[in-house]
Amino acid sequence: MPLRVVHSDHEPARPGPADAATSLLELVHTGDPRTGAALFDLVGAQVNRLVWRVLGADEDHDDLVQQVFVALLAGLKRVREPEALRGWVAAVTVNTVRSEIRRRRVRRLFGMQAAAAEQVHTPAASHEARELLERTYGVLARLPADERIAFALRFIDEQPLGDVAAACDCSLATVKRRLSAAQARFRRLAERDPMLAEHLRELEVKR
Amino acid sequence: MTDPLQRLAREVARNLGDGPGPVRRERQRAAVARLTAAPRPRREPNAWWLLPLAAAVLLAMFLARPATLSAPLTVTVAQQAVMVGAWLAAPEREALVLDFSDDSRAELAARAAARLTRAEPAHVELALERGTVTLHVVAVPDRAWSVSAGPFTVALTDADASATWISATATLIVEVHRGSVDVAGPDGATHLRAGQRLELRDRSAEPGLLARSDVPITPHANASPAPAGDLSAEAALLEASSGPTPAAAPSADAPLLEAQAIDRPSGPRASPPAASSSRSAARSPAANSSSSSAGSPAETAWIALAEAGDCAAALAAAERHGLSQLHATLAAADLDLLAHCARVAGDAPRARDALLALRRRFPADPRAHTAAFLLGRVALDLDRDPARAADWFKKYLSEAPDGALAADARRRLDELDALH
């Protein structure tokens, strides 16, 4: 399947990262054993942030990041333009996370995975903060995978719509539709959770 | 953004952060770097005659190879073949057993994970990513076994041994039950025999903890001294058997994490480890002033595990340190964290004890009110005791009628009333 090069209009090319991306692609094409470390240095923070924000502080986070890097290293040779690297990394990361969400859903369906896997293990400062995270990600876990990803990228990671569309490999219109559906579904589900409902009402009042 | 949903998302992002801490990221980096590890250097022949000579040597080796190695080595889990490169994770409550065709076995304890990186006639290698692997290796001529964990490698050929990798603290624990093993790390190698246990910590992964190791390094009489002094200097070589222990060496019953976490007087650094700094920042000044052990190394060990998300291991480490002592000395934020770990681990008594300690010692702290709500959750979710849960939810409402969890407490009370 031909690989689609994705351009990001969110982060304009800066000399530093672009140089690093160029160097990385050179390492890839020469089969240099330092490629893995160089790739992680360049996009490790981006991958971590994306996985973390879509799935929360998940206990399998590190394994997922590893999976993403396995996929990245497998396809890196096909990236020809250094400036397209970050967009491509986002797309691969989102694909991996989407597969994981779907896999979990199937496992849960057949009782092979406990609901505890959705627990958020972040050591947030207070119980209330932890509770808020757990409940928010609990609701997000009930959204369809595409809606959940669009919601997390747009609202939690605050990415521009164009970047969300590129990462999700869909059109702008599709991503808007998914966001709208995700918001409606999230509100409906959050209404059933007293803490989230109360919190949303407070935020509404503060508005 | 003015939409409440978007503001909620922004709040979530603020609480969540950008990802795991530097220790975990460094581990991730090491794992990714291994994916493109250096291939074996290729040597250019110096003269044309080297090629036929090499071919002749190879032919001779092939003809003289032991019969046992000619058989391919196969690996199965529950009678299903396992491919090289497969990632193996034991379920939460069960071990996962790898059976090798040479009658060797590798057992991943519950929640342990490893990757089968090599399964060749001459070399079998497992990359242990978390938890414990117990190996029963049957001797086969010219077949070597190794388990890699972080920067360490455990090599064995005919032995029963276990290796435990605590990724959160980058700690490797090796116990030898039969035969002998060689353990190598960045600073050298050491040899272990049956009945011995070795504990190593990766200095590069957690400089904060490593720099504070003060365990007396007294190699046991039965242990071969390490060729490189540095490795033994980082190691606590403990006698696992019940035999006499040298006076200077810590006893086998000594808590492992605690033993590693004693300050070295001449240590190069005094600042707390990165993992615990965020906790320190989260503690209220009042809580800090009331805690006599905040930031102590033993406390740091379980907190590091808790912050890495390994609640079961954190709870075990806290237990080794002594829960009653922690209940008496921890700051409110850390008692809250301890209770959180116990809840996630499904340990109702320990969650309850930590929450009760929090309420007893910090009655004016807002977390004491939240603890009442959590005691209700523990009673309801873990103890299945609705009556006690209702009491705690009522208690919470009486203490914090406008608290963030008040609506939740009321709903739960309504549900409990409806049940009776």
Is the separation of the CB atoms in A67 and A166 below 8 Å? no
Residue A132 lies in a domain: yes
pLDDT of residue B253: 34
Residue A10 pLDDT exceeds 50: yes
Q: How many CA atoms lie within 13 A of B43 on its CB side?
A: 6
Could you give the CA distance from residue B318 to residue B299 in angstroms, rounded to a whole number? 7
Residues of A in contact with B5 (CB under 8 A): 155, 183, 186-187, 200
Residue A151 lies in a domain: yes
| Closest approach of A96 to chain B, Cα-based (Å) | 16
**Integer Cα distance of A135 and A152 in angstroms:** 14
For range A65-83, the mean pLDDT = 90
Question: Could you read off the pLDDT of B358-383 as tens digits, one per residue?
Answer: 999 998 888 888 899 999 989 988 88
- Return residue ranges of chain B for CATH 1.25.40.10: 274-419
Res B194 pLDDT > 60? yes
Average of per-residue pLDDT across B321-328 = 88
pLDDT at A112: 58
A200–B404: do the CB atoms touch at under 8 Å?
A: no
In a domain, A6, yes or no: no
Q: Which helix (H) or strand (E) covers residue B203, if one does? A: none
Assigned fold of B274-419 = 1.25.40
Q: Is residue A66 part of a domain?
A: yes
Average pLDDT over residues B231-258: 34
Q: Considering only CA atoms, which of B93, B94, B96, B101 is closest in space to residue B78? A: B96
What pLDDT digit, counting tens, does each position of B299-314 carry? Answer: 577 887 777 667 778 8
Cα–Cα distances (Å) from B120 to B146, B218, B243, B328, in that order, read: 12, 38, 38, 54
C-beta of residue B201 within 8 angstroms of C-beta of residue B175: no
- Highest mean pLDDT out of A168-172, B295-299, B328-332: A168-172
Distance from CA of A10 to the nearest CA of B (A): 18
| Residue A2 domain-assigned (yes or no) | no
Pick from A26-40, A168-182, B148-162, B258-272 the range whose average pLDDT is largest.
A168-182
pLDDT of residue B19: 85
- As a whole number of angstroms, the distance between CA B313 and CA B148 comes to 21
Tokens describing residue B351: 């969650």
Please indicate, yes or no, if residue A10 is contained in any of the structural domains.
no
Task: Check B8 against A125: CB less than 8 A apart.
Answer: no
Give residue A150's pLDDT band: very low, low, confident or very high (50, 70, 90).
very high
Tokens 């976490």 sit at which residue? B261
Q: Do residue A36 and residue B18 have CB atoms under 8 angstroms apart?
A: no
Number of A/B CB contacts below 8 angstroms equals 167
- Which position has the higher pLDDT, B62 or B339? B339
Q: Which chain B positions have a beta carbon within 8 Å of A198's beta carbon?
A: 404, 406-408
Of A52, A193, A207, Cβ closest to residue B4: A207
Q: Which CATH architecture has domain B64-250?
A: Sandwich (2.60)
- Structural domain count, chain A: 1
Q: Where in chain B is the domain with CATH 2.60.120.1440?
A: 64-250
Q: Mean per-residue pLDDT for B22-28?
A: 85
- Residue A150 domain-assigned (yes or no): yes
User: Which residues of chain B make contact with A42, given a CB cutoff of 8 A?
Assistant: none
pLDDT for res B192:
87
Residues facing residue B75 across a β-bridge: B100
CA distance B115 to chain A (A): 11
Residue A70's domain comprises 15-206
Range with the lowest mean pLDDT among A12-16, A117-121, B131-135, B243-247? Answer: B243-247
CB contact under 8 A, B13 and A157: yes
In a domain, A53, yes or no: yes
Cβ contact B255:B319 at 8 Å: no
